[in-house]
Structure 1
């Protein structure tokens, strides 16, 4: 596997640093580096550490003049704000983002992913329209925040030990609540985004049954969520409003009985082997650190390539976190139109940020910076590694149905719950989430697989992580080996093995639709 952010053949690793490209200006510390430590570099060069460098942070391996670009991954990650000497710690005190400038190319770096996993299968739930679920939930979806408490009361009747013991093929009853739906203008951008999100969940193949619950006087009525969804004949879908049902108590009683009648039918579904091409993988990251772009993200990119090569769908997201690296994706676009759609979304985000008094280079977060990331360019270059090297087949708006097999990109915010909500609304039936600082995200009804970027965090939070990708830096496994392990984990989880977030019943509260638009 090769892409712009994976380790090149010329890269060098010692017990103290990793140099990703022979001509990079910085290396990444694999442990805390004390002043005076000599670093062995390619071509028999030795650099002495001048100042303490924390683990996962950057150390200069050659002099950089003030105002000159600093390179990592073979790409500029910002400009030096003062002269930087070899051996110095490179971070916020001497590196700033600057304004990225790129010459955009379209389709000049397209390549076909490996097909070695073609024909593999997983055990899924085949719905009446042929789509495949990896879980079998009953959903209580709200059209408006006013029905949120009622929906939670309903779902809570089916939570806890023993609540669904007699229905072993039902994964649970979950409430999907949000903070909008009433004063939101339905025809506005925000109204359409919310509607698209709720309808995406309503038709998600991981739901075997559905109850849509409203208050009764909202601008986004329950009927709008289920009309013309194209659900298969016999799909279990019921609608209710609190006002017409006689208030909260009466609504909860009626809804619980309605769901009880659904349970035997939902429980009758059985998993069966299906081709791996039925997987739709959402790619996301959060709490990133200096290892994200060299361990978990490129390893996930390798797994993504294996899935795409087998005919599946894999979708990158978080538009503000590809800013500065979008030129690498346009080079992989199947057409100029696809590449320009991505650039249009970048332009929209720059205007959106400016309207709010911000800029896209406000990122990285304080946690990212503590973990070794300095600029949005550096963060983005590492983030796009999750997409492997496959050609970019499609670009989607938030929560738009993921209809094109292959690698896609969805326009979402960088905020993890909102981003993952959009991917699941689009149809992702599995999510892989990389983290260096330690995220505890879940994403029901789609399972989330959490990938740790470093061993220290994995060992500290092992009960919240599914797989340790830090073994790549530890030289205990290769990137390709970990990528294949991720691939096998995806198949196992898609076939019913619980991820650690599912063991804790996480994911209901992380349903967070993107809120945009005028509220009246």
Structure 2
């Protein structure tokens, strides 16, 4: 990528025949770039692109050095690219080529760095310590909600952003005969620090409730996939133990879940309490037993404390959502550089969202460290694409209205920028949905482009922390893996301070480089992994969980 950024526009690769506007450019703006001079044909908004050449019908649009579209009508030099004159187009790909030359970044500053994590019996290290309450079927969602009401407040867990209003103190004082003046002078605001001190189990970061609409109906594969996903959450390094509620007659049988857990972790030893409602005396007994077993499990979970661990134990998911025309210029490449640093340090990073890798398949195939991985990736991409086409919704339909409005007018253009999250390191493994991480380095995980379905899958495969770039803003979070929101632009960071954790927009305005911002992001990742920095999604209690039913989802 070209690192030099003009204050007005940028060419992202020497092969590109378009420039990206970094600020609003009025019609007639004089463009001077690499010996070319021309006037802007029409007003071009920041994040959008305009042509460096005169193009005819069906000419290629090249951006990030790759094919991202074709012209549908003549395009003048300096004319903005829109959905009216450009359509999606992407390059063909094949297995056989390799390019494993990698310029490993200098990670010596972090050679001996550690994070404070939760060490598990199987050698993995978590960045958080959660207890899970899981329904095996949607019929148990209500009972899960009852447990949530019974446990959270009583045990001192709250999800408000900066404070909690402690009304209970007023009630107690009123019962004790306090006067109106005494009630008025009572402090009822509790800070996060105070709330944590008041938890019954201070070493348990949270109790997470994974409501879903699966487990029965559909096809048998849906239930098997769900059990594999839930097994990924139960065996997750951030999970201390779990309470599972089963109805009894559903497709997602307890045995399937137990087999999935055993397959992932043959020496599984975490506290796991599975209760079946159809075998209980009554609903009251069922709920009471679930609360008591959970309480006893929390006692064990609370015995675990954070201890130093090498950065090689980190498993970081690479995600984007609400992307804009700056995402592939600032936030994504900065995250990609942080990913390369982590890989150089022996850690694991995971790039997902296969519909948003359309057009960059050949680059990723060339980076696979084995022909087996290359073939698996190509097979998964082709199968996904064919299923999408079969239902009349090919990858070209992936960009959302928000993406298009902010400059991502084709799926290949969106994908070329999205792939920058994966940096430049070799691909060491390719994973099917729910398949667990087993290899260090950069992994590719088959998930939809849908934000929550993808983050749900990343955590299910074992990512202990997820970095989520965005240009438009989103509150997305995950129940077990902390989600770090990275802004692509300063405007978003300023406007949505309650949601954004890290701003990469200073790359656009020239105060930082991709390298410097990537290094800064790595430092923040270490803080989050250690529990010393709490991302907004965690503070807000944003715990989104949507299993993918393996239908077409872009």
Q: TM-score, normalised by structure 1?
A: 0.93
* In structure 2, distance between residues paired with 1:160 and 1:421: 26
* In structure 2, distance between residues paired with 1:47 and 1:235: 66
Deviation at 1:269, TM superposition (A): 0.6
Deviation at 1:103, TM superposition (A): 5.3
Deviation at 1:476, TM superposition (A): 1.2
State how 1:428-439 maps to structure 2 within 5 Å. 428-439=463-474
SS of residue in 2 equivalent to 1:390: coil
1:30 to 2:22 alignment:
yes
- The aligned residue for residue 170 of structure 2 is none
- The aligned residue for residue 221 of structure 1 is 253
State how 1:203-352 maps to structure 2 within 5 Å. 203-227=235-259, 228=262, 230=265, 232=267, 234-352=269-387
Paired residues of 2:216 and 2:223 also in contact (CA < 8 A) = no
Deviation at 1:197, TM superposition (A): 0.6
Deviation at 1:118, TM superposition (A): 3.1
Paired residues of 1:296 and 1:434 also in contact (CA < 8 A) = yes
State how 1:319-468 maps to structure 2 within 5 Å. 319-468=354-503
SS of residue in 2 equivalent to 1:288: coil
- The aligned residue for residue 535 of structure 2 is 499
Paired residues of 2:214 and 2:223 also in contact (CA < 8 A) = no
SS of residue in 2 equivalent to 1:124: strand
SS of residue in 2 equivalent to 1:501: helix
State how 1:69-80 maps to structure 2 within 5 Å. 69-80=60-71
Paired residues of 2:90 and 2:412 also in contact (CA < 8 A) = no
* In structure 2, distance between residues paired with 1:247 and 1:512: 30
Comparing 155-164 with 139-148, greater Cα deviation is found at 155-164
Deviation at 1:368, TM superposition (A): 0.5
RMSD: 1.8
Structure 1 residue aligned with 2:546, among 507, 512, 520?
Answer: 512
Deviation at 1:61, TM superposition (A): 2.0
Structure 1 residue aligned with 2:2, among 4, 7, 15?
Answer: 7
State how 1:158-197 maps to structure 2 within 5 Å. 158-160=151-153, 163-164=156-157, 165-186=199-220, 188=221, 190-197=222-229
Deviation at 1:234, TM superposition (A): 4.7
SS of residue in 2 equivalent to 1:393: strand
- The aligned residue for residue 111 of structure 1 is 102
SS of residue in 1 equivalent to 2:151: coil
Paired residues of 1:123 and 1:271 also in contact (CA < 8 A) = yes
* In structure 1, distance between residues paired with 2:282 and 2:463: 35
* In structure 2, distance between residues paired with 1:87 and 1:375: 19
* In structure 2, distance between residues paired with 1:369 and 1:421: 25
Deviation at 1:243, TM superposition (A): 2.2
Paired residues of 1:318 and 1:411 also in contact (CA < 8 A) = yes
Structure-2 change in CA distance of 1:112 and 1:244 (3 Å): farther
Deviation at 1:147, TM superposition (A): 0.8
Gaps of 5+ in 2: 158-198
Paired residues of 1:112 and 1:309 also in contact (CA < 8 A) = no
Greater C-alpha Rg? 2
Deviations 1:386-415 (A, max 9, x none): 000000111000010100110010011111
SS of residue in 2 equivalent to 1:432: strand
Comparing 480-489 with 61-70, greater Cα deviation is found at 61-70
- The aligned residue for residue 145 of structure 1 is 138
Deviation at 1:226, TM superposition (A): 2.7
- The aligned residue for residue 3 of structure 1 is none
* In structure 2, distance between residues paired with 1:142 and 1:192: 14
Comparing 104-113 with 389-398, greater Cα deviation is found at 104-113
Structure-2 change in CA distance of 1:264 and 1:161 (3 Å): closer
Deviations 1:232-271 (A, max 9, x none): 5652110102222344443222211221222222111100
The number of residue pairs the alignment matches comes to 504
